[in-house]
Amino acid sequence: MRAPRQAVEIVFDHATKRYPGRTTPAVDDLSMTIPAGEVCCLVGPSGGGKTTAMKLVNRLVELTSGDVRVDGKSVTALDETTLRRGIGYVIQQVGLFPHMTVAENVATVPKLLGWSKRETDERTDELLDLVDLPARDYRSRYASQLSGGERQRVGLARALAADPPLMLMDEPFGALDPITRTRLQNELLRIQDELRKTIIFVTHDIDEAILVGDRIAILREGGVLAQYDTPEQLLAHPADDFVARFVGADRGLKRLSLTTLDEVELEPANGLVGPLLDGQTTLRDALSAMLTDGARAVVVDSGDGTRKQLTLDRLAELLR
Amino acid sequence: MAEPVIPDFGEASDCVAENRLFCTDWVRENWDPVLQPALVEHIKLTVIAVGLGFVLSLVAALLAHRFRHVERPVAFLSAVIYTIPSLALFQLLVPVTGLTVTTVEIALVGYTLLILFRNNLAGLRSTPPEVLEAARGMGLTSNQTLWRVELPLALPAIVAGLRIAVVSTIALATVAAFVVSEGLGGPILGALRLDFRTEIIAAGALAVGLAILADALLVLAQRAVTPWASARRVT
């Protein structure tokens, strides 16, 4: 097996894209740094240029001015096919090759890079297992024999095949039903936990961005960066009215969903009555449980036999 | 052969003498000298015509796929050829190429171009846009995309075009007899002049049978080269 590749840092440096004949740029003077191994979500309304900004990285869209650097090197320094073979690419419609089997689809980039057949086969099986499609059952199927969720899993495996340090994902789960979407979001987090790629993830869904993003860049119409921050900061301190409206009036609740009971300091239980919850429960669900039960606290079994509690007042303090 | 066949050139059987609808004895006697050679010639005429027509139309379709402005002149030219009646086309060609197989083949090739060009081009353009985007995004060059993605996906349309071209060429090649005595058109034309029913029916049936067989073979070939198209849902 080849050694896993180190993730890379991506820098947008005054990156600008203007299409001929348009008055406003699609991406306007975008500057931001995505640290190696982090997931950066690009969100914003349609016309915000989020997909365009992402495509500047693999040069499916060419820069008008400014620069995009991957691992310190300008994307314009490499020829575009070499550049793209080193970047995983996942799109909403997946775009599996219908005439190739699942295994052949996954092997596309390794084959372009001239890997040996044995190495390619091993890698293919390993990746199918990673995306939870047992290789034995799935390797010789065609795309027409897969469900939507299975297709996108194959799309993800195909993008990961040559172990690229960087992945671009364009609304990858946007066409899936909510249950499949949630499952795949969690799988992506699990895989990312293991692989630590640098990922640019385009979505129009702020909840998805909060769930999968280490950082979120909000773009407004005209491709202007409105705010680039961690989900926590974005929800706690939106830069302006646009961002505040975009993240939603329930941003307080969304912030609560970022943290679990285990992650906050709890008080020793002092006899208050409330629902007994698991430490993995998010604060948002804990609040919901209090409201449902009409209680002013929740109780957590801390595992060592003692019980701790979180009161409504303490929860309000945490949000400040 | 197990039993000796004594050809009877002197007198025709009653069946032939009375020109009944179909005389099997005549067919048996004339299979080797007349019908079989005509059938083989007919197959040759068809294979050469469709083969050349396919190569020409595929090159034209590949050019039109890459350079859009090629499409209209090629489509126009092949449509114009297609509208010329075959006998008139022979008339036009005979002064140039004479009463030769070349004359026949030029005409037959010409008639395949419209169908083959259109189908080949439609096939090449049938790749879904998201598949093309994925191919580009993964770093396939445009040539790699053509050979590994667009051409394989064009196969169903290409074979569909070939089926029509083969069947129509087999039918049309009988007209070659007006120029050269090749193919099943020879016996048909000769028998028409004599109003000899057995020969018309026998040669005609061979042409029809050949067309049906060729079409069936192409269907099988298509299944073999496009396994994904017939893949069943696994549950």
Work out the pLDDT band at A23, boundaries 50, 70, 90. Answer: confident
Which has the closest alpha carbon to A38: A215, A187, A185?
A215
Higher pLDDT pick, B10 / A184: A184
Residue contact B234–A98, C-beta within 8 A: no
Phi, psi of B229 (to 5 degrees): -70, -25
For B62-116, what is each residue's pLDDT tens digit?
999 999 999 999 999 999 999 999 889 988 999 999 899 999 999 999 999 999 9
- Which candidate, A163, A7, A97, places its Cα nearest to that of B144? A97
d(CA A94, CA A96) in angstroms, rounded, equals 6
Q: Choose from A84, A99, A150 for mutation: most chain B CBs within 10 A.
A: A99
Q: Of A3-17, A291-305, B12-26, B45-59, which one has max mean pLDDT?
A: B45-59
pLDDT of residue B176: 87
pTM for the model stands at 0.86
The predicted structure's pLDDT at residue B44: 95
Q: Nearest by CB to A99, which of B141, B152, B232? A: B152
Question: What average pLDDT does this structure show over A173-201?
Answer: 94
Domains of chain B, residue spans: 29-227
| CA-based radius of gyration for chain B | 23
pLDDT at B110: 95
- Average pLDDT, stretch B4-25? 73
What single string gives the DSSP state of each residue in B31-87?
IIIIIHHHHHHHHHHHHHHHHHHHHHHHHHHHHHHHSGGGHHHHHHHHHHHHHS-HH
Statement: residue B10 has pLDDT above 60 = no
pLDDT, position B53? 97
Mutation pick from A57, A87, A93, A97 vs chain B, by most beta carbons of B within 10 Å, is A97
Find residue A10's DSSP bridge partners. A34, A70
Cβ of B134 within 8 Å of Cβ of A141? The answer is no
Which ipTM was obtained for this model? 0.88
Q: How close B222 comes to chain A (CA, Å)?
A: 13
- Answer whether A107's CB lies under 8 Å from A120's CB: yes
Q: In this model, does residue B6 exceed pLDDT 60?
A: no
Better pLDDT: A195 or B234:
A195
CA–chain centroid gap for A286, Å, is 25
Whether residues A97 and B149 touch (CB distance < 8 A) is answered with: yes
Smallest CA–CA distance, residue B131 to chain A, in Å, is 4
pLDDT for A95 beyond 80: yes
pLDDT over 70 percentage in chain A: 99
Closest CA to A201 of A251, A80, A191, A260: A191
Q: Which residue of B has its CA nearest to A58?
A: B137
Distance CA A272, CA A279 (A): 18
Smallest Cα distance from A218 to chain B, Å: 24
Residue A20 to residues A17, A64, A139, Cα–Cα distance (Å): 10, 10, 44
| pLDDT category of residue A215 using cuts at 50, 70 and 90 | very high
**CATH fold of B29-227:** MetI-like fold (1.10.3720)
Is A158 close to B138, i.e. CB distance below 8 A? yes
- Min CA distance, A147 vs chain B (Å)? 10
CA distance A83 to A73: 11
**Residue B1: band (very low, low, confident or very high) from pLDDT cuts 50, 70, 90:** very low
Contacting B with CB below 8 Å, chain A residues are 58, 60, 80-86, 89, 91, 93-100, 108-109, 112, 141-145, 155, 158-159, 168
